[in-house]
Amino acid sequence: MTVAPHLILTVDYELFGDGSGRPGACVLEPAYRMMRLAECVDASLTFFVEALEFIALSEQERDHRARDQLRAALQGGHDVQLHLHPQWSKAESDAQGAWRLDMKRWRIGDLLEEDVRQLLRKGRFWLENEIAAHVAGYRCLAFRAGGWCIQPSEKVIAALLAEGFELDSTVAPGQWRAGRGEWSDFRAAPSLPSWRVTGDVCQPSGSGLWEVPIAVGNIGWRRHLAVLLHGKKQKNAGLAPGCIGSYRGPEQSRVEHIRARMVRLRQLGEVMLDFSTMPADVLIDVSRQWLSRFSTIDEPLPLVAIAHTKNFSASSERNLKIFLAWAKSSGLQFSTYEQWLETTHG
C-alpha cells in the first residue's frame, strides 16, 4: 500500500427509530463530545443527519439546537451528509411531546421511487439551506439508508442518481438481518473497498453511484459476546449518559422476532467498525483486518467507521481516544467522502 488510507469517521445523528429519546442527551451532547475528541487530532467527523426528524423538531417544537450545532460543526471543518428514516416523514408530536411515527414506512427500500426522490429532496434542501447556507463549496453528495434498509435497492439507487447524489455508504459486507419490516442482506457484496452501482447495491457496475461500504471484520464469537455482555453491564446499558429510549422497531410476529434473533446469533463475531459500541482493541483489530484485506490495491483505500450518538457512552469516549491516537500514529489520514472522491477519482 503506497497511499495513506482514508479513515472516514461517520456518525448517525438521530434519536431512536420509534421517536423516543431526548435530543440533548441522545444527540447533541454525545455529538459535542465526539467532536472535541476528533478535534484533538485534527480529524473531521461526517454526521449522517436524519434530516426528517430535525425538520419536525424545528417546525413543531421550535427546537433549533440540532440545526445550530450542525451549522457550527460544518463551519468548524466537520461534514454533514444525508441519512433518512422514512417513518419520520409525517411525524407529529402529541401534547406530551411524544412522537407519532408511521412505523409501516420503516424501510426506504419498500417505498416507491418518486416517494424516495421526494424525501431525498426534502432532506437535502434542509441540509443545504438550513445548515450549509453560508459554507462555500458545501455539497450534499453522500447517503446512508436508515436501519441499513436500502434493499431492494434498484429504486433507491435510481432515485439517488436522479437527484445527483454521488455516493452511498449503507452496505456492511457479509452482514444480514431478518424480519419483514427491517431486513437487509449484504452477503452477496463483493470483496472490494468501494465499487459502483446502477441497481443492485451488491452488484458492481462500470459506472453509476459509488458504494463505499462500512468496514467490517471478524473478532470471533467469544470476544463479540464478551463485548455485548460488557455493554449491558455498563451504567445506562451502554447508552450516552442521560439518554433513555427504546429500540422498538416495526411490528413483527413472535416467529419473525425469534428468527431475527437467531440470524443475529449466527453472526456472532462479525462486527462493523463501530466506535460507539466496540472497545479500542477491537477497533484497531478490525481496521487492520480491513487494511490487510485490500493491501494490494494501489489507490487511496476508504476505511469507513460508523457510530451512533445515542450509544456513545463514557467508555466509548475512552475507546475513541485510543483509536484516534492509533490511527494517527499508524499513518492513516482522517478524511471525508468528498476528499476521498477527489483524491481517487478527482
Q: Which stretch binds Zn ion (CB under 5 A): 10-18, 62-70, 150-158, 161-169?
A: 10-18
Binding mask 13-32 toward Zn ion (x if CB under 5 A, else -) reads -x------------------
Question: How far apart (Å, rounded) are the C-alpha atoms in residues 5 and 344?
Answer: 11
Q: Which stretch binds Zn ion (CB under 5 A): 146-154, 163-171, 232-240, 260-268?
A: 146-154
265 CB neighbour count, 10 Å cutoff:
10
Indicate whether 274 belongs to the interface with Zn ion (CB under 5 A): no
Question: How far apart (Å, rounded) are the C-alpha atoms in residues 140 and 145?
Answer: 15
Q: Nearest 5 degrees, angle CA 277-CA 322-CA 26?
A: 40
What is the three-class DSSP state of 334? strand
DSSP 164: T
Binding mask 103-142 toward Zn ion (x if CB under 5 A, else -) reads ----------------------------------------
User: Strands, E, within 130-206: which ranges?
Assistant: 142-145, 167-168, 176-177, 184-185, 195-197
Binding mask 169-208 toward Zn ion (x if CB under 5 A, else -) reads ----------------------------------------
> Quick one: cell of 152?
431492494
To Zn ion, the closest distance from the beta carbon of 193 in angstroms equals 23
How far is residue 119 CA from its own chain's centroid?
Answer: 18
Binding mask 285-324 toward Zn ion (x if CB under 5 A, else -) reads ----------------------------------------
To Zn ion, the closest distance from the beta carbon of 144 in angstroms equals 7
Q: Which stretch binds Zn ion (CB under 5 A): 106-114, 145-153, 159-167, 168-176?
A: 145-153
* Contact partners, residue 125, CB within 8 Å, separation at least 6: none
Indicate whether 146 belongs to the interface with Zn ion (CB under 5 A): yes
Pick from 5, 9, 10, 12 the residue near Zn ion by CB under 5 A: 12
Q: Which stretch binds Zn ion (CB under 5 A): 101-109, 144-152, 163-171, 330-338?
A: 144-152
To Zn ion, the closest distance from the beta carbon of 48 in angstroms equals 7
**Preceding peptide of 241 cis, ω within 30°:** no
Query: Based on CB atoms, which residue is closest to Zn ion, 14 or 211?
Result: 14
Strands 79-84 and 45-50: parallel
Query: Based on CB atoms, which residue is closest to Zn ion, 82 or 260?
Result: 82
> Quick one: cell of 48?
449522517
What is the three-class DSSP state of 253? coil
Chain contacts with Zn ion (rule: CB under 5 A): 12, 14, 146
